[in-house]
Amino acid sequence: MKKRWVLKSFVAAAVLTTSGLALAQSNTFKIGLILPMTGPFASTGKQIEAAARLYMAQNGDTVAGQKVELIVKDDTSAPDVTKRIAQELVVNDKVNVLAGFGLTPLALATAPIATQSKTPMVVMAAATSSITQASPYVIRTSFTLPQAAVTLGDWAPKNGLKKVVTLVADYGPGIDAEKYFKERFVLNGGQVPESLRVPMRNPDFAPFLQKVRDIKPDALYVFLPSGVGAALMKQFAERGLDKAGIKLIGTGDITDDDILNGMGDVALGVVTTQHYSASHNSAVNKKFVAAFEKANAGMRPNFMAVGGYDGMRVIYEAAKKTKGGSGDALLEAMKGQLFESPRGPMFIDAQTRDVVHNIYIRKVEKVNGELYNQEFDVIKDVKDPGKSK
Ligand code: DHB
């Protein structure tokens, strides 16, 4: 019985493969979107899901004659859960593509599943440089921390900041943010007297900020994952670091558009580097922001939303090109895509499978009574500096 089944499937697979229509029998194109929808990183899940649904509302839910099915799963930001869900999506649901990945450990836990099952895995949020090297099936539409970190490492010393203490969340993206900022900043003549690392979950900033106050650097450089910046900002002011003349700079994760407006005037003047601001001045972005806010009761899209929106674009275009394909064919069609994103021009480098985009230097300012990251300079087409190491 079993033998006959195996033989039959083998023949069927051979026929379908030779005819090049391996998936023609299914008329659904399935996207398994795994996100933290609950827990401390739920804002990432909420932003990406909203963006994915907006993309589908704007572009239709059929590609190449197939119905697009978006299967959203909550991994509660626990890596073992992400991995189990990915396995189920591949084996039971037979998804064409895995997507989402709100944090680096969640992406890394899933990479072996993508490799074993030859399923393209679109990373829409996680941003440690090495993630694309964890599987040849990873395509990234988010960003990498080294892109933002080196840009700030160039900007800071030219703008009067010579002595900077770094403070990062103690895991992949934080280590990248620290390393690449420090290397570039020191190369440019800067000095880093202290590098502090705080726990990724529920950090208590008090003892760290006290230390910074005692050192009294020109600036404190910070990376924290999306959603955590407001707590840091509040304590920075409460402990009087701003009054002591210490500037706050960092990667754009700390002035996340999702929570920026609630931070109050303490955020004014904070300089960050990143690939996306909701106030990016382009027709494509204005349209995106307006549609996103309209569909989500006024919620402002942040950089996570853009990673999700662009990820859907990459998936849709690859699905069109391969007529609803899967596996290696779908993966190949994702590579090399070049298009205008709400962030600006964006490119999926076919060699690295990583995103190449502009990094903007921004300052928090009040615009019509609301706080925004106002872009005032740009470094164009930044590749991940982590790839040349
Ligand atoms: C990662 C998560 C974030 O929320 C962020 O802003 C940057 C990086 C990550 O885990 O890779």
Q: What is the model's pLDDT at position 9?
A: 52
pLDDT value at 370 more than 90: yes
**C-alpha of residue 128 to centroid of ligand 1, in Å:** 8
Atom 7, ligand 1: residue with shortest CA distance: 225
pLDDT confidence band for 387 (50 / 70 / 90): confident
Mean pLDDT of the chain: 94
**One-letter amino acid identity for 5?**
W
Q: What is the pLDDT of residues 162-203, one digit of tens each?
A: 999 999 999 999 999 999 999 999 999 999 999 999 999 989
Q: Pick the atom of ligand 1 nearest to 128's CA.
A: 11
What percentage of residues in the chain have a pLDDT greater than 90? 92
Residues 6+ apart with CB under 8 A from 217: 163, 164, 165, 193, 194, 246
Q: What is the pLDDT of residues 302-347, one digit of tens each?
A: 999 999 999 999 999 999 999 999 999 999 999 999 999 999 999 9
Q: Which among 346, 371, 368, 349 has a CA at the least distance from the CA of 359? A: 346
Q: Which among 281, 300, 297, 303 has a CA at the least distance from the CA of 289? A: 300
**C-alpha of residue 286 to centroid of ligand 1, in Å:** 25
Q: For residues 39, 43, 46 and 47, what is the CA-based torsion angle, rounded to 10 degrees?
A: -160
Pocket of ligand 1 (CB under 6 A): 44, 103-104, 125-128, 172-173, 225-226, 253
Quote the DSSP letter at residue 262. Answer: G
CB 213 within 8 A of CB 190: no
**C-alpha of residue 126 to centroid of ligand 1, in Å:** 5
Cα separation, 137 vs 332, whole angstroms: 9
Q: What is the model's pLDDT at position 382?
A: 98
Cα separation, 252 vs 360, whole angstroms: 9
Residues 6+ apart with CB under 8 A from 352: 132, 383, 384, 387
Q: What is the model's pLDDT at position 202?
A: 87
**The residue count for the chain:** 389
Q: What is the model's pLDDT at position 4?
A: 54
Q: Pick the atom of ligand 1 nearest to 303's CA.
A: 6
Cα separation, 179 vs 137, whole angstroms: 27
pTM (two decimals): 0.93
**C-alpha of residue 157 to centroid of ligand 1, in Å:** 26
46, 142, 180, 226, best to mutate for ligand 1 pocket (most atoms within 8 Å of CB) = 226
Query: φ and ψ at 249, to 5 degrees?
Result: -130, 165
What's the helix, strand, coil split of the chain in %, to 5? Answer: 45, 25, 35
Number of H helices, E strands in the chain: 11, 15
Q: Pick the atom of ligand 1 nearest to 228's CA.
A: 4
**3-class state of residue 385 by DSSP:** helix
pLDDT value at 11 more than 50: no
116 is written with which tokens? 């074993």
253, 257, 273, 276, best to mutate for ligand 1 pocket (most atoms within 8 Å of CB) = 253
Q: What is the pLDDT of residues 18-27, one digit of tens each?
A: 444 444 446 9
- CA quadruple 186, 387, 148, 213: dihedral positive or negative? negative
Atom 3, ligand 1: residue with shortest CA distance: 225
